[in-house]
Structure 1
């Protein structure tokens, strides 16, 4: 209502938010690829044509960077033990210990991502005389991925090894490979492409299939060459339980050594120079940066998992507390203990109005029609330019007064009405609100308790025919009213809505009237009342119909002001955190319950979790890309079902129809995002110290249409 000079709203934060979310998605995606969450490391399905015969009938070591393939094989009585899929923190050290005990050397084809996870094991391999080679970065089937992915898999693995050891590797074994005879045309093409970047392919003569865990004797038999011949033997030191592999090695090595076999690396076995060479500086730096990136991505993924668990636990805990408190509140209100004194003292209703021509007549008529014996209505026209005051005066209704003043803002208009009121019980009403005939009576009955200083009514959305209105209707019923029942039971009600609230006159005078230094004057005032030692309660049967924003733009402006103003009020009353938890209307400064219960609840559920919501949505997008859809759909359906039960329970408590429940899934796709972006914008505005101006909503008169009609959903 009052207009304040304001700096333009900040805009750069939206770019920063978008960039941050993109970085988060990139980190999560990288983690998904690295850990194989996507399932993309499986072997491609289908039957492919075989590789050329000169390759399928060749030796296991292939150099394919020349027009004609060149192959090598192990000499007689020479065994090159090779291990895939490591390093593994459990099995690789045990295999290394066993090889050292038997004075045997081997070649380890390492997965780049696991190199970054366990760099000390790779360094130990080289230090103990073993050889290392590339097994791709994520254990991907290179014959089934695009060319850019093949190049990236090999490049990243080389960088990872360079960053950890200072060496670059040339040996390469593709995942899911076996003997040359089993090589397919696509796999051969992938090997040729790898050869172009300096890699020498190493397949196998003897595939033990130890990953199937067929038994120690079977592994030993599969690893033993025929008639003293040499062989490249394929085993695994990662990817699962390798206890049978260890036991087989402990049998195989002594047995073949006794037959005159030697165990060496692939390069030494074929008489080639060492396959590792010093890495360039840029490769080492790149490898180190890659390891930091992978580690950081792991932390991000872990943090997101923790955030989701915490958010889920908080959400379920919140629901449990709401349901329990709602049940307590229902029993307390609907089945009171003992007789209760009827309150029929005079009441003054104060209606601040600024350009409320669309609804003001209906608001005043509904108030005058109240079934209450002693009621005066004071309309304070705050400098309206649309004839609001004239409309009220032309009604000529008995017991209605109009006060005109220059535009000074809603708090000033309310304070003007408070000063002019004759009664000791005051009801504050927005100019777009319609009361039911029993609303005032039900609202003030709580004042029979002398410790009650203020009462919140039950605000309902009048214009709920369209989708946006239904979403707000559900929000009011689920969030606002369930929360108010909980606040009532916990005695920490932070907000009496401007649409309908009742106060003792002495309470308003004690706290200095309606404050004007925050945009959420209703929240600010309620917190002051609590801190003055008075109880604030919720009366579910005192119903007021209000006109909710009818467009996304209007909704954004309204919620932006609410959120920003609530943050102002929370900061203003932050000292309630240190106040004692005591009660009674004579105890000044008794805001302990607000500080211990209300403010932490607002901080967690209205600021912190909404600020984390964009990251949660990015995590959901990550799930769509990398996680099985069945799991994701099941999780989403479970959460939606929980929300539906919550909404149905809230609608039942409020006596509403269940029809709007069908809009819940769509609410999660649009409305929820709008609400958390409001929190982001408000937080940035607060941090930058900007002053937000009042934003008036355009009225359509939907609330006015309820006068004399059957309210919706009843």
Structure 2
């Protein structure tokens, strides 16, 4: 064994699965952060819920002042001094209303306390900095405007400390004032709300309630808002207004008029800290500011990532829809073209190809199915020469062929050199100008060869792809592969035919001009997808490659997920090799340019980039079910599935297949699809790592049988088996 092959067998690529897992976990974390911050809570109706017992709330709180200090286990309350009004705003900053409120405050030379929501502060950092620069006071109103009294302990801490991190990161100051969302006056504090107040006190926070609620969240007129806030005596008050959470136009108007009246009545309007004589902020340490800044950028990055994913999803949805329209439209056009060819052939019998054909069967350890394959080809209605090339089999494959003693069958024995060398050996021995290549695990129908070679009536055609069918389609895995062959492979081949950019003539059934094969140097062993490499070489040499859907060949598909993985891994890796090898076609003209710009572009987008993005799509779907509208997500998924079902039904109709297996199509989205995109990821990583993948030979199951001969030959075998 050469050193090259030893290197192939000794290399195992595994770290990329760790990288993929890390990427998916990072995406899932970013989605979770974004979903939590933007979809589990939010500003809006700030109405107060008074439901719940208040038996555990101390009377000193229920009947005390609006500023509660429960630090150190000792409960104290305080209210502003007489004729002192602490002006507070909740739910901001808002890009529309907060600047207007700040302008009104500046006009009246009044400072206020703004209890900011962390997520809003991250979205509008300049407004928070303006508040501080103009002498206003900043307080905590949680990270997402969550109801602390109804939240578990972990969320209470996250909400309060998260908002504090934002404030420190934006302003360099740490706030000590907290106003719980949905809070009101002291007598509205329930046991659950009191528990959250005590928990916040343990973290060093003073809780600020209210004595005068503007109720501007009810959207009243400005006069009503001002009336709700107007004090009736000398007692100090804490006034509650909102600068965010909705349309605050009436609030702005009411604030301007209210401040004018209060100033004339001798009231002092100020911040909470100034009103009760406490220091409400302190300078954050460098470490606290750095931590806060990192927290903010982490949230921003999660938002940007979700936005990027959202746009990518839109793009992938558009690409998927365009692909569906293209393949169906191309299939309709291809079908009409096939009908015109049939009519022309019927009118001009002289155009039909009747010349004998050489059929080359490369075989390596194909004892399970080689007899069925050779007998099916020998039963062809078209004159054929069959060359079986035994590529050093160790299971008696050559002996089986020799024992058949079929006329017109030639057996070539050679040392193992790989499938390309076996095909080239058969090509060198071929006696005819038209050559058909067929895998040793494939059987033909009697009319397959005749149907396959008819497009060679056009001298521009250098190769013809046949229609590969899954023989062992029993079971759900077989049904999934059957669907993929009919819907994926065959619809794509019709599109490639119409667009004149066919990238692959499958090894299971392909017809070639011997002249074309010789011109490109035969079958190359430079890639693991020798069929794709050969087809691309023919296109670059100027030959047209077409698809003949009525030339059917039946092949064995993998019966286990492990076998399927190995087969598709080799296919995908080999296709990537071929795409890279023939990348120069992109800048060429003629048939080569069509392959490069149409075929390679299609393969890159649909078979490489979209599968690479598919894991993120699945993670985003879970995100949508958890944080968005599950019904809308379900409807979108059903619409996507309906498009697939309709496209599949049309493809099945074109191939004259029963629609029964389509019941497995929804299930295909949850297992088979994931397996296929993992194969693509594995292949791309292997290719980028420069690893030489070894040939993965598929296990044979012996499920193939010789198809029946036409009725005009009553002595022929009649076992269907495929």
Distance 2:398 2:474 in 1: 30
Distance 1:40 1:475 in 2: 48
Deviates more, 1:9-18 or 1:520-529: 9-18
* Partner residue of 2:281 out of 262, 276, 284: 276
Distance 1:82 1:709 in 2: 88
Partner of 1:49: 53
1:497, CA displacement in angstroms?
Answer: 0.4
Confirm whether residue 355 of structure 1 aligns to residue 365 of structure 2. yes
SS of residue matched to 2:436: strand
CA contact (8 A) 2:443 2:706 kept: no
SS of residue matched to 1:4: helix
1:274, CA displacement in angstroms?
Answer: 2.8
Distance 1:42 1:664 in 2: 45
Partner of 1:328: 333
Confirm whether residue 102 of structure 1 aligns to residue 108 of structure 2. yes
* Partner residue of 2:537 out of 509, 518, 528: 528
Map 1:261-660; keep pairs closer than 5 Å: 261-270=267-276, 272-336=277-341, 338=344, 339-340=347-348, 341-372=351-382, 374-580=383-589, 582=590, 590-660=591-661
Deviates more, 1:521-530 or 1:38-47: 38-47
CA distance change for structure 1 residues 224 and 710 in 2, over 3 Å: closer, same or farther?
farther
Distance 1:113 1:101 in 2: 28
1:66, CA displacement in angstroms?
Answer: 4.3
Distance 2:147 2:570 in 1: 54
Q: Deviations over 1:112-144 (max 9, x none)?
A: 222222222111111111111001112111122
Deviates more, 1:163-172 or 1:74-83: 74-83
1:41, CA displacement in angstroms?
Answer: 10
SS of residue matched to 1:669: coil
Partner of 1:238: 244
CA contact (8 A) 2:105 2:111 kept: yes
SS of residue matched to 2:703: coil
CA contact (8 A) 2:376 2:706 kept: no
Partner of 1:19: 22
Partner of 1:121: 127
CA distance change for structure 1 residues 324 and 711 in 2, over 3 Å: closer, same or farther?
farther
Distance 1:174 1:34 in 2: 17
Confirm whether residue 80 of structure 1 aligns to residue 107 of structure 2. no
Confirm whether residue 259 of structure 1 aligns to residue 269 of structure 2. no
**Given the two structures, how large is their TM-score scaled by the length of structure 1?**
0.95
Distance 2:113 2:246 in 1: 19
SS of residue matched to 2:669: helix
Q: Deviations over 1:273-302 (max 9, x none)?
A: 330111112111101111111111111111
CA distance change for structure 1 residues 37 and 329 in 2, over 3 Å: closer, same or farther?
farther
CA contact (8 A) 2:444 2:707 kept: no
1:637, CA displacement in angstroms?
Answer: 1.6
1:248, CA displacement in angstroms?
Answer: 1.4
Distance 1:178 1:512 in 2: 85
Partner of 1:30: 33
Confirm whether residue 197 of structure 1 aligns to residue 189 of structure 2. no
Partner of 1:587: none
Distance 1:38 1:534 in 2: 62
Deviates more, 1:484-493 or 1:702-711: 702-711
Distance 1:478 1:655 in 2: 12
How large is the RMSD of aligned CA atoms in angstroms? 1.9
Partner of 2:99: 93
1:211, CA displacement in angstroms?
Answer: 2.0
CA contact (8 A) 1:454 1:501 kept: yes
SS of residue matched to 1:379: strand
SS of residue matched to 2:113: strand
Distance 2:720 2:234 in 1: 97
SS of residue matched to 1:513: coil
1:238, CA displacement in angstroms?
Answer: 1.3
Distance 1:322 1:484 in 2: 9
SS of residue matched to 2:548: strand
Distance 1:393 1:42 in 2: 86
Partner of 1:585: none
CA contact (8 A) 1:4 1:692 kept: no
Aligned length: 702
CA distance change for structure 1 residues 15 and 42 in 2, over 3 Å: closer, same or farther?
farther
Distance 1:379 1:221 in 2: 99
CA contact (8 A) 1:78 1:262 kept: yes
Distance 1:42 1:430 in 2: 70
CA contact (8 A) 2:462 2:512 kept: yes
Deviates more, 1:14-23 or 1:248-257: 248-257
Distance 1:351 1:477 in 2: 24
1:37, CA displacement in angstroms?
Answer: 5.1
**Given the two structures, how large is their TM-score scaled by the length of structure 2?**
0.94
CA distance change for structure 1 residues 39 and 354 in 2, over 3 Å: closer, same or farther?
farther
Distance 1:58 1:460 in 2: 82
1:649, CA displacement in angstroms?
Answer: 1.4
Distance 1:403 1:647 in 2: 42
CA distance change for structure 1 residues 572 and 243 in 2, over 3 Å: closer, same or farther?
same
SS of residue matched to 1:377: strand
CA contact (8 A) 1:32 1:38 kept: no
CA contact (8 A) 2:41 2:146 kept: no
1:189, CA displacement in angstroms?
Answer: 0.5
CA contact (8 A) 1:41 1:140 kept: no
